[in-house]
């Protein structure tokens, strides 16, 4: 049934299953078995890359300067409007394949480059089709409040989402046409303020969506306090979170999804991972894969978390497995090797799991097998030709 039947010492398991037959046995001598990685924050559905903006950032332009000049999210929105659902699906499947080969077996996927109802639904349908046609696990997020559409105020955009987008989403959820798990808002100065964010998140919660939103990234907005009050499952970014917000999140068991790629690429101050961990916040990690932070690899995210956010390797592994699964409401089935949980695992070509973090960008020759629901989905022949690290 794709679930783990036993975990423990080899001789005990051999005795217990001495009569069983297996369609495949993998010799893991000198290797290491880990839970499949969980990427708790991605934007993988869009058309038109922003490679030209990378040069602008390197020359000193800020995220909001590029955004206000018609770049950033608005640039991607225009290209995504023009793309067909099939085109979006094809690129999404390619990107998910690259995430899978880097060890991710469960990925959160957001809409958010449509901003109008039809394009947001086009993106969510592409995510739904990918969920049915690919092996990787998907947690789907409606992120229609990713930016204020051109020609609208934030209040008008908020009213449109609450009065038009969410009722349609509820109808499609009930009919089984689209499965959406989470609701997201970009709560930020110049985007959606605290009150608009509250209204949208509450309306999403009312139709059965988990609250999982962008907060306190570029300016302190008291997003963490709001999330804790609304019973949010997770809040992402948090570079500018207040001390009170950290305490509130710990009390509310609201996960902090930290995104070291974003702080690194935008040269922002790093999220306060150490302070959050000391206060008892559930810290998770995500790649924030999007046109602004083009990273598929959770092993590289873990490495950045250790070096730039001062997390230990143990903390980073927990943040990219069990805690990331918690942030998506899936920690009862994913994120650790336990009897009854889904059989999602990695086998790496080393007897020490730390190599997955230590080798920056080395995962391509280190991850030997990726297994989802007990089936080998990816087998890396390069590992077989190399002795264990």
Cβ(287)–Cβ(259) below 8 Å: yes
Write down the pLDDT at residue 329: 98
User: What pLDDT score does 56 carry?
Assistant: 87
pLDDT at 169: 98
Confidence of residue 183 (pLDDT cuts 50, 70, 90): very high
The yes-or-no verdict on residue 385 having pLDDT over 70 is no
3-state SS class at 125: helix
Euclidean distance between CA atoms 30 and 388, whole angstroms: 7
Quick one: average pLDDT of 242-260? 98
Return the minimum-mean-pLDDT range out of 67-71, 149-153, 210-214, 317-321.
Answer: 67-71
E strands present in 71-155 = 104-110, 137-145
If one compares 64 and 170, the residue with the highest pLDDT of the two is 170
Flag whether pLDDT at 311 surpasses 90.
Answer: yes
DSSP strand pairing (375-379 vs 367-372): antiparallel
> Residue 134: which of 367, 315, 378 has the closest Cα?
378
pLDDT at 32: 96
Q: What's the pLDDT at 388?
A: 62
Per-residue model confidence as pLDDT tens digits over 81-140: 999 999 999 999 999 999 999 999 999 999 999 999 999 999 999 999 999 999 999 999
Averaged pLDDT of the chain = 96
* Predicted confidence (pLDDT) at residue 283 exceeds the cutoff of 80: yes
As a whole number, mean pLDDT of residues 238-266 equals: 97
Distance from C-alpha of 105 to C-alpha of 328, rounded to nearest angstrom: 13
pTM: 0.97
35-47+83-328 CATH: 3.20.20.140
Structural domain boundaries in the chain:
3-32+342-379, 35-47+83-328
Which pLDDT score is estimated for 389?
A: 59
């Amino acid at each position: 049934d794709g679930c783990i039947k036993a975990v423990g010492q080899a001789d005990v398991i051999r005795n217990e299953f001495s009569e069983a037959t297996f369609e495949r046995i993998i010799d893991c001598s000198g290797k290491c078995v880990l839970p499949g990685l969980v990427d708790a924050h991605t934007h993988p559905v869009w058309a038109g890359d922003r490679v030209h903006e990378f040069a602008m950032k390197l020359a000193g332009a800020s995220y909001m300067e590029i955004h206000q000049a018609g770049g950033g999210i608005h640039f991607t929105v225009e290209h995504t409007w023009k793309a067909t659902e099939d085109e979006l699906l094809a690129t999404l499947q390619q990107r998910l394949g690259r995430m899978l080969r880097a060890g991710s077996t469960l990925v959160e996927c957001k809409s958010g480059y449509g901003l109008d109802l039809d394009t947001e639904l086009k993106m969510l349908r592409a995510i739904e089709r990918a969920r049915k046609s690919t092996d990787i696990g998907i947690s789907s997020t409606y992120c229609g409040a990713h930016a204020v559409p051109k020609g609208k105020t934030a209040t008008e955009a908020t009213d449109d989402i609450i009065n038009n987008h969410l009722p349609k989403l509820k109808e499609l959820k009930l009919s089984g046409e689209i499965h959406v798990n989470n609701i997201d808002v970009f709560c930020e100065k110049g985007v959606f303020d605290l009150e608009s964010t509250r209204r949208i998140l509450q309306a999403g919660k009312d139709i059965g969506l988990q609250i999982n939103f962008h907060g306190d990234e570029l300016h302190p907005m008291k997003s963490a306090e709001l999330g804790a009050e609304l019973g949010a499952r997770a809040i992402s970014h948090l570079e500018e979170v207040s001390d009170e917000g950290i305490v509130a999140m710990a009390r509310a068991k609201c996960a902090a999804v930290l995104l070291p790629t974003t702080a690194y690429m935008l040269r922002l101050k790093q999220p306060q991972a150490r302070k959050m961990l000391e206060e008892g916040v559930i810290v998770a990690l995500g790649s924030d894969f999007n046109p602004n932070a083009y990273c598929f690899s959770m092993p590289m995210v873990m490495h950045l978390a250790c070096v730039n956010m001062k997390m230990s390797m143990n903390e980073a592994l927990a943040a990219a497995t069990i805690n990331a699964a918690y942030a998506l409401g899936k920690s009862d089935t994913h994120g650790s090797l336990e009897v009854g949980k889904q059989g999602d695992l990695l086998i790496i070509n080393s007897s020490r799991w730390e190599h997955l973090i230590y080798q920056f960008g080395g995962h391509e020759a280190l991850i030997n097998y990726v297994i989802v629901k007990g089936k080998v989905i990816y087998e890396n022949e390069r590992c077989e030709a190399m002795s264990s690290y």
